[in-house]
Amino acid sequence: MDLYRHYSDFLNTIPDGALVVNNKGVVELANVATTEMFGYVPGALNGVRLSMLIPEESKANHEHHVAQFFNQPKRRPMGQGIRFFGLRKNGTSFPVEITISPLRLDEQTFAVAIMRDNSDRQRSELSMQQLIETERNRAFTCELTGLANRRALLDTLEVSVANCKREQTPFALAYMDLDNFKVVNDSTGHQTGDALLKALAQHLSRFIRIQDLFARLGGDEFALILNATRPAQAPEILHRIHTAAIAWCENSAYPISLSIGWVHCSQLPEGKARDYLHAADMAMYLAKTNGKEQICRYHPELELNID
């Protein structure tokens, strides 16, 4: 049987790489597109083991696929075929998509592999994934401070509420507002105010635990989800953050401070995300009316004071 005579001219008309491999994993014939794809001269791959074209870390898995194919030969079309990495002569690897079909000749079964270099496609997919991730991050990030934004806060808060109800994982929510920030904006302009917000956000981020979410709601308002936090833990955590904020404010050139209101999940067992945000906001308002620069906890009686 002269495979070269029967198939060489035909395979060389195929724009994709094409290989004919025997059941021992030896290349009987490789078209010109294949040799160019892998960096060899025409004819150089005939008679070599197919494993020579596979990166070392993938050879065991590759041998398994070859054995599996010859045990049950059937066509695997492009798009439903195998994606793997090929190894060029210069030692670089590249993504390849392969279609395998059985070929029966002289009572022997061969594998015909049609291969396509997927480097451009992979780069395109990676660029698209990066673009999607960038847009996703932008959608959930405050552009000014780099913190999570209101949307991210509400989404995360919904998860915390669900975990609390389903798994009894406790959490607390704090609502923060800068005192006298309007004075800064009115006297120095929004550019100065924005710079101040950004600097304070960066400073306070150093005091936020890794499991918690610190977000800017808008303007001079921030929120903090304290995950896995019992009622007795929240005041200590918030006091540390508040102390850091006040020290920073006192070193600034402006008469600002920070008021914090907070609520624990145990206080609103049937509450939804927006209920918690409302409760923490009311507690923050109480801190404002009580003289600012303090921390207040939500209690149901606050609802009675709504006009």
For 53-65, the pLDDT digits (tens) are 988 888 877 777 7
Residue 5 to residue 21: CA distance in whole angstroms: 16
CATH number of 3-122: 2.40.50.100, 3.30.450.20, 3.40.1190.20, 2.40.110.10? 3.30.450.20
Q: Which residue has the tokens 């904006």?
A: 185
For residue 78, what pLDDT is reported? Answer: 43
Q: Is residue 221 within 8 Å of residue 287, measured between CB atoms?
A: no
Q: Are strands 27-30 and 93-105 parallel, antiparallel or unpaired?
A: unpaired
How far CA 54 is from CA of 37, 84, 266, 270, in Å, comes to 13, 9, 58, 58
For 292-306, the pLDDT digits (tens) are 999 999 998 887 665
For residue 79, what pLDDT is reported? Answer: 45
Q: Which residue has the tokens 């590249």?
A: 94
Q: Is residue 271 within 8 Å of residue 237, measured between CB atoms?
A: no
Range list for CATH 3.30.450.20 in the chain: 3-122
Bridge partners, 113 (sequence order): 19, 100
For residue 58, what pLDDT is reported? Answer: 81
Our CA angle for 92, 93, 95, nearest 5°, is: 150
Residue 70 to residue 23: CA distance in whole angstroms: 6
Joined together, the tokens standing for residue 21 give 């491999």
pLDDT lower than 70: segments of the chain: 1-7, 75-83, 122-128, 131-132, 134-136, 304-307
Range list for CATH 3.30.70.270 in the chain: 140-305
Residues in the chain, overall count: 307
Bridge partners, 236 (sequence order): none
**HEC-encoded secondary structure of 9-49:** HHHCCCCCEEEEECCCCEEEEECHHHHHHHCCCCCCCCCCE
Q: Which superfamily is assigned to 140-305 in CATH? A: Reverse transcriptase/Diguanylate cyclase domain (3.30.70.270)
How far CA 242 is from CA of 87, 204, 215, 267, 276, in Å, comes to 58, 9, 15, 22, 20
Residues 6 or more apart from 173 whose CB is under 8 A from it?
157, 160, 223, 224, 225, 226, 262, 263, 276, 277, 279, 280
Amino acid, single-letter form, for residue 257:
S
Q: Which residue has the tokens 């070392």?
A: 56
Give the number of other CB atoms < 10 A from CB of residue 217.
20
Strand order in the sheet with 213-218: 213-218, 221-227, 171-179, 257-264, 295-297
For residue 128, what pLDDT is reported? Answer: 64
For residue 212, what pLDDT is reported? Answer: 95
Q: Which residue has the tokens 């005192």?
A: 179
Query: Among 33, 36, 65, which residue's Cα sits nearest to residue 50?
Result: 65
